[in-house]
A and B are shown apart, each in its own frame.
Chain A
Amino acid sequence: MKIVVAVKQVPERDAVVRVAADGRGVDASDVSWTMNEPDAYALEEALQLKERAGSGEVVVLCAGPERVQSTLREALAKGADRAVHVVTPEEGEGSLGERDSLDVARLLAEAVRAESADLVLTGLQSDDLGAGQTGVVMAELLGVPHATLVLQVELLGSGSGAGGNSGIRVKRELEDGWMQHVEMPLPALLTVQSGGNRLRYATLMGIKKARQKEMREVEAAAAGKRVDEVVKVSPPTRVKRTEMLTGTAESIAAVLIERLRFEVKVL
């Protein structure tokens, strides 16, 4: 069982984000980076699948500039076996910012093809672009079936990989707290939703071992022509008039008590 997990490096959640000078992207100069949250769950699911099967390989894959290697290292420290880094320039021509979802998915699909994986996992959505489609696009490019919003994966049959496996059964999330099982043959691609497992932490031992693990760099293909173009990025303008309170905690509490008593009428 060979599993490829696509992990994306995204700005920390509390990062202060500014619009880039050209008005078409995010100014990344002061940003600290982290692993996209659903991708961490995808990695966890892959590691548990391998552990349950008793054999196999988990390969983590990321497209981006040099800095993304810290995220790949983190995945290796948590237990992934090796990493593939599709190297793109930090900015300008060929950088992630200049590519649309189809183009990024092409880069990733190309790398997956070279691995001939049984299963490909991605997160369901990235925290920065929020496109929510790279995984589904990859499945289409790879010509494999897919399921989205997946919480759990179960191997059907012997579970020993391509030949010995009759397929998988996944539990996926529907809206309003509903769930559904879906079965499909392998190879397949799944986009993973957060919360299906508890995330593990990297141990000191894991971090030490990660330094010895393989990190293969492949050069990204030239960018294709964008199908969609980002023409402008800006902070949203407030539509609703919110009464904003600042001051000491006590003075805020006093104002809130007034509102709760006389306007909201819950006190």
Chain B
Amino acid sequence: MSRDVLVVMQTSGAGWHRMSFEALAAGQKLAAEVGGTCSAAVVGEAGAIAPLAKELAGKKLATVWAVGDALLAQYTADGWVMALQQLVAEAKPGFVVFPHTYEVRDYAPALATRMGEVLIGDVTGFSVPEGGRPVFVRQWMQGKLNAEYQHAGGGVCFVSVQAGSFRADAVEDGAGEVKAFAPKMDAGGIRTKPGEAFREAAQTVDLSAAPVIVSVGRGIGEQENLEVVKELAEALGAELAASRPICDAGWLPMERQVGSSGQTVAPKLYLAVGISGAIQHLVGMKGAKTVIAINKDVDAPIFEVADIGVVGDLFEVVPALTKAIRAQKAG
């Protein structure tokens, strides 16, 4: 079994998806620990990816694969699976590492299936036991448990890494040789027709600039109860934000959603009320200077990123806090 690692980078517009270099850092670390080489691949239309491949050539990599074809100008799951299956056959890695992006979610499981494998997805870390196979950690129960996975059998091990789990600035510089790879592409095998990306309505709320945010999650229980947090936000002079389920239910507009599919915020204070702290929420608010979390469950993952954690019933704590803030402001 090969010990070499292949990292599949993701582009975004004319540049990189921000998580690509986190995956590259993970790939270099994995290669070092299993005793193999690390290579990277960039997929797209040949002319468009040439400057990106050149940039990768400045990293510590065995090979930089520039996987180019006109049919790869726009992302499709079929196109990516077709091209990458051939690349894996050519490069023969033991491990393929991806960033766990929405795009990777869309095609990596199909690529793994085509090769009789299973993607070990959304990995937060790994360790390599002496002389053994790597142990990959992923979350169960929305972060309440950690599960350790090992790949069995002699085939390729496919892994995607969670946002924020590896540091992009840990990528080692060096020199890599760029190799152009032209997969045999079949236009008939691309069954979906993708449209251009668009944004729904113009956003009227810009949470990214708000210095203080009070954010509410499903712990609030009912729409009528939102009043309790609205009063807190008002007393604090804060913007109101929410986790996805609150916006899904239509209790607050979509534009107040924080997380991977909503807004990314970096306030001085983020006060999370009745939010469990799923990774898709955390990626949107990890940049906050101070996080205060109010949750009745002492094991809620939100406490992992909180500076101050209040274990209690929000229906008791929030009104008491609002009252105290008002009293403080009244002097």
Contacts and interface: CB of A to CB of B under 8 A. Distances in A.
B150 A145 contact: no
On chain A, which size bracket covers the interface? Answer: 35 or more
A19 interface: yes
Nearest to A237: B146
B179 interface: no
Given A257-B328, A260-B269, A250 B320 contact: yes
Contact of A183 (B112, B193, B212, B250): B193
A235 B144 contact: yes
Interface string A155-194: 0000000000000000001111111111111000000011
Contact of B299 (A37, A231, A235): A235
A137 interface: yes
Nearest to A141: B113
Interface string A175-216: 111111111110000000111001000000000000000000
Contacts of B301: 236
A4 interface: no
Interface in A15-70: 17, 19, 26, 37
Contact of B324 (A147, A174, A183, A254): A254
A148 B121 CA distance: 15
A95 interface: no
A227 B192 CA distance: 29
A193 B191 CA distance: 21
Interface string B113-139: 110111111100000000000010011
B215 interface: no
Contact of A242 (B255, B264, B308): B308
Contacts of A246: 310-312
B222 interface: no
Nearest to B152: A229
Contact of A253 (B112, B250, B324): B324
Contact of A232 (B117, B148, B192, B324): B148
Contact of A137 (B110, B276, B317): B110
Contacts of B77: 136, 145-147
Interface stretch (A72-80, A111-119, A123-131): A123-131
A256 B264 contact: no
Given A229-B152, A245-B310, A182 B218 contact: no
A198 B108 CA distance: 30
Given A230-B149, A232-B147, A244 B122 contact: no
Interface stretch (B36-44, B45-53, B56-64, B195-203): B195-203
A17 B110 contact: no
Contacts of B187: none
Nearest to A246: B311
A142 to B, nearest CB: 11
A133 B150 contact: no
A164 B108 CA distance: 32
A139 interface: yes
Nearest to B280: A125
Interface string A85-111: 000000000000000111001000000
Contact of A185 (B112, B191, B299): B191
B317 A228 contact: no
Contacts of B167: none
B290 A264 contact: yes
A132 B122 contact: yes
Contacts of A195: 244, 247-248, 254
A115 B107 CA distance: 25
Interface stretch (B25-33, B89-97, B98-106): B98-106
A17 B276 CA distance: 14
A195 B245 CA distance: 8
Interface string B179-217: 000000000000111111111100100000001100000
13 contacts: A17-B141, A127-B142, A132-B109, A137-B118, A140-B113, A173-B261, A176-B262, A198-B249, A231-B135, A233-B145, A233-B147, A236-B301, A250-B320
The 5 A-B pairs at the shortest CB distance, nearest first, are namely: A195-B248, A133-B109, A249-B320, A145-B191, A181-B195
Interface of B: 77-78, 101-102, 105-110, 112-114, 116-122, 135, 138-153, 155, 191-200, 203, 211-212, 218, 236, 244-245, 247-250, 254-255, 260-264, 268-269, 276, 289-290, 292, 297-299, 301, 303-312, 316-317, 319-321, 323-325, 328-329
